[in-house]
A and B are shown apart, each in its own frame.
Chain A
Amino acid sequence: MMPEPIEKRAEQYVTRLLERRLQRAGLGLPGETNFLVQAQAPRPYFGGIEVRVRTWRHWSDAAVSFDAATGEIMERRIDRYAMPPCREEMTLQDAQAAVRAVVPVPPEAQLESFSHVLYAPFCTVARVQWRHVHQGLSVLGDFLIAMVHPKTRQIVEVRCKWRTVKLSGW
């Protein structure tokens, strides 16, 4: 039986190595191999030959949405920040502190709800939602929602619609 080509063996070795390291770092689930490896042609090396392996990894899906009229960011998310898998919950105070460290929460923001939601399989995140209250009146349609990883305190997602109220003749 012919042994496997050295390029193939190099790819298998690097795949195993990366999988172990990613799992140890809490960045990958068992069986998750969302990276690519590609061996290059063998080349001379003193004492033998070497095979270099290139790797690419799909780290995360991410998205940013802008208001077409004003250019303001309405939504931004990095799915990977929902990792590592977590079943823990966090307090409202901790969640608010984590959000405020990164996201400017407007002074007219009033806390509307706090909960924990399943963002992805096995990945629970805290969800904090504020509403806009201007001089005691709700500003309908405005909101600020942030998702926080309970353990890493990373902001997974922020969604915001917030306008500067201009009431004419009021």
Chain B
Amino acid sequence: MTQDEALQIVMRQADKIGLDPMMEFHHAQRAIVEYCPDRSRPGRVSDRLAWVLYFRGELGRMEVQVDDRKGEILSVVRE
């Protein structure tokens, strides 16, 4: 998967993940991330190769992790 493909996946699901339209894409990196299906509870984690995309806006920042192989959105973090 390329960075552009990962960005397209995020933009297609912008409403679903709550990406503010005023936020702009800032940068991305391909990295190994810890994946936990339910972050609200302690549990097993696994390693995934992902594209991590960073967005910035006046109201804050957002980080979205996209699985590099499956295109699944693994995590959304708002600051």
Write the residues of chain A forming the contact surface with B, with a CB cutoff of 8 angstroms. 68-69, 134, 137-141, 163, 165-170
Contacts and interface: CB of A to CB of B under 8 A. Distances in A.
B47 A140 contact: no
B32 A140 contact: yes
Nearest to A139: B32
B49 interface: yes
Contacts of B49: 137, 167, 170
Contacts of A168: 46-47
Contacts of B34: 140-141, 163
Chain B residues touching A, range: 10 to 19
A140 B48 CA distance: 10
B6 to A, nearest CB: 15
Contacts of B56: none
A140 B50 CA distance: 10
A163 B47 contact: yes
A140 B46 contact: no
Contacts of B33: 140-141
A137 B47 contact: no
B47 A167 contact: yes
B29 interface: yes
B30 interface: yes
Contacts of B31: 137-140
8 contacts: A137-B49, A139-B31, A139-B32, A140-B34, A163-B34, A166-B47, A167-B47, A168-B47
